Structure 1
Amino acid sequence: MGSNTKFKIGLLHSTIREDEKLIIREAKKKDIPLSVIDVRYQVFNPDKWDNNIDVILDRCLSTSVGFQATLFFERIGIPVVNSSRVVQNCDNKFLTSLLLHEHKIPTVPFALVFTESQAKEAVKELGGYPIVIKPVSGSWGRLLAKVNDDDALEGIIEQKQVLGSPIQKVFYIQRYVKKPGRDIRVVVIDNIAICAIYRETSHWITNTARGAEAKNCTINTKISDICSKTSKAIGGGILGVDIFETDAGLLVNEVNHTMEYKNVQRVTGVNIAAEILKFCQGVSKYG
């Protein structure tokens, strides 16, 4: 592409975390025009929008908010990273699993049900307890439950049915996978795995937001291949792919479309913020 002055990136956000600060600093360092757009102070009216933006980078904390804004920008002809299709494919964990299954990418065995009786049937089909029950949408390892028997399953489902929102009454169930005290988070940009970390913890939930420690992970051919296939199945873009190591091989667990990457950048030394901006240049009107 030509000079950086030919395009402007709109950084869409609802709060500025360290991840967004890294992008802002990198854009300033490279003299890349960047408009920081707080969704809380915008009126998304297609007849009135007047902002000379060539590509939007969605970094909203709320997927629901970011998704609506993404739809708006796409409809008025501004490309968004990530696209609304990718957001949908990642946000709905059941849909993610279905896409992985459809493309024959090894993933954690799963099922979806709406009643207690069918949940018990799903447990049998998945090989018995323990299982993991989680919302079809969510992040940071929240509202996950490792269920060890029928009594626990009945209690969890009753609470969700009585106290939960409508989405909590959809029961997404996965086989529990015994991990070696860690999982792998891989940063994938444009279908290429650029860096990865191990997230190590003695807890069964391996998430840095829940206290897991980040350590560098060298990307081998197996990790690279499964991440490339996963990215293509999801729709590409900038993704965080979560992988489990098992005796049978690697399993993709989830895919994140607005990943927090500050720990990955710190541990690996890879300038992820620069790679994000480079990718945005490629999908802009002038890419």
Structure 2
Amino acid sequence: MPDIAIVADRLGWEERSLIERGASFGFRVSWVNDEDLCLGHPGNPALAKFDIALIRSRSYTRGGLIASLAEANGTRVLNTSHAIHTCENKAALRALLDRAKVPVLDYRLVLSRKDFTKAVDELQVPVVLKPVFGGMGKRVTLIRHADSAQSVYDYVEDLGHAFEQACLVEPYLGGTSVRCLVVGRDLVGVAEFASAGKDWRSNAALGNENRALDHDPELVKIVDSVVSELGEGIYGVDLFRTQNGYVVNEVNHAPAFRAVATATGTDVPSTILGYLQELLQ
């Protein structure tokens, strides 16, 4: 019976669902706490017995480091370290997709107040300020008025490390976003998320309103192009709808999928476990 590790800092609905259904697919699925792996040289004892490690760390940095060391020691991981490291850096991801002719949201990289001032002038308010490294909608700020922009940036400038100060400024396109859940190369569920009224952000992790969408051919094409660049895996591809079509905002390496499963009726845990069966044949 193959052993599957779910490497994560906590057990959410997604992780529990995979563990509970694992046996019906012929797997032993175990939670491995990503806080006490102590990976390194020599060997990889914490993950050595597992046939594949499903990286579900909420931290992009932690997940990418674990995937890199696990791969170096011969453990098969999903997603790959390349995919995770690319997803964690929003600027690098957009540059990669832009080179591949995948439509991405307009943006400016901000590393200083001069960058920020120029970005706001070029894009015009309302704009969104977000960290290059981060997820789950944290530290994402909507700037509606030009006269408050510099005060908002004060908080970024006071952060202690350049790693935390690296930001993107992008146009604000409204209160809805589209989440495409990908397993392998397949688009298995599409849902639109909207602010519930108390928070402008439509991030799925915030539990806002959602509804199922059809698998639009344009979405299928974009998702296929994203996977071609990152490699097969399990992704949440987040997009915005514009007058000229969809644009990619972010790609999540360890996506929450409860909201997509609820909105679409898709049995996502079984789809993921079925994909693992194919990989391990």
TM superposition score normalised by structure 1: 0.89
- The CA distance in 1 between the partners of 2:37 and 2:255, in whole Å, is 23
CA contact (8 A) 1:135 1:167 kept: no
Q: Could you tell me which amino acid in structure 2 is paired with residue 81 of structure 1?
A: L
Q: Could you tell me which amino acid in structure 1 is paired with residue 260 of structure 2?
A: V
CA gap of 1:235–1:48, structure 2 versus 1, over 3 A, is closer
- What is the aligned partner in structure 2 of residue 241 from structure 1? 237
Q: Could you tell me which amino acid in structure 2 is paired with residue 261 of structure 1?
A: F
The 3-state SS of whatever aligns with 2:109 is strand
Q: Given the alignment, which residue of 168, 182, 192 partners 2:186?
A: 192
Q: CA deviation at 1:12?
A: 1.1
Q: Count the aligned residue pairs.
A: 277
In the alignment, is residue 97 of structure 1 matched against residue 94 of structure 2? Answer: yes
Q: Taking CA–CA contacts closer than 8 Å with sequence separation of 6 or more, which of the two structures ends up with the larger relative contact order? A: 1
Large movers: runs of 4+ above 6 Å: none
In the alignment, is residue 28 of structure 1 matched against residue 30 of structure 2? Answer: no
CA contact (8 A) 1:86 1:236 kept: no
The 3-state SS of whatever aligns with 1:278 is helix
The 3-state SS of whatever aligns with 2:241 is strand
Identity %: 25
CA contact (8 A) 1:96 1:234 kept: no
Q: Given the alignment, which residue of 113, 126, 131 partners 2:110?
A: 113
Q: Could you tell me which amino acid in structure 2 is paired with residue 31 of structure 1?
A: G
CA contact (8 A) 2:44 2:70 kept: no
In the alignment, is residue 207 of structure 1 matched against residue 203 of structure 2? Answer: yes
CA contact (8 A) 2:61 2:88 kept: no
Q: Could you tell me which amino acid in structure 2 is paired with residue 69 of structure 1?
A: I
- The CA distance in 2 between the partners of 1:209 and 1:161, in whole Å, is 27
- What is the aligned partner in structure 2 of residue 59 from structure 1? 56
- The CA distance in 2 between the partners of 1:270 and 1:119, in whole Å, is 42
**1:116-147 deviation digits (Å, cap 9, x = unpaired):** 22222223333x22211100011221111122
Equivalent residues in 2 for 1:4-153 (5 A)? Answer: 5=1, 7-47=2-42, 49-50=44-45, 51-126=48-123, 128-153=124-149
Q: Could you tell me which amino acid in structure 2 is paired with residue 135 of structure 1?
A: P
The 3-state SS of whatever aligns with 1:138 is coil
CA contact (8 A) 2:43 2:73 kept: no
CA contact (8 A) 2:25 2:273 kept: no
Q: Could you tell me which amino acid in structure 2 is paired with residue 9 of structure 1?
A: I
The 3-state SS of whatever aligns with 2:221 is helix
Unaligned runs of 5+ in 1: none
CA contact (8 A) 1:9 1:280 kept: no
**1:200-244 deviation digits (Å, cap 9, x = unpaired):** 224541123334112222212111111111222233311001111
Q: CA deviation at 1:164?
A: 4.5
The 3-state SS of whatever aligns with 2:188 is strand
- The CA distance in 2 between the partners of 1:266 and 1:146, in whole Å, is 28
- The CA distance in 2 between the partners of 1:25 and 1:69, in whole Å, is 24
In the alignment, is residue 252 of structure 1 matched against residue 238 of structure 2? Answer: no
| Cα RMSD (Å) | 1.9
In the alignment, is residue 274 of structure 1 matched against residue 270 of structure 2? Answer: yes
CA contact (8 A) 2:44 2:73 kept: no
**1:36-55 deviation digits (Å, cap 9, x = unpaired):** 31223333244353432121
CA contact (8 A) 2:159 2:165 kept: no
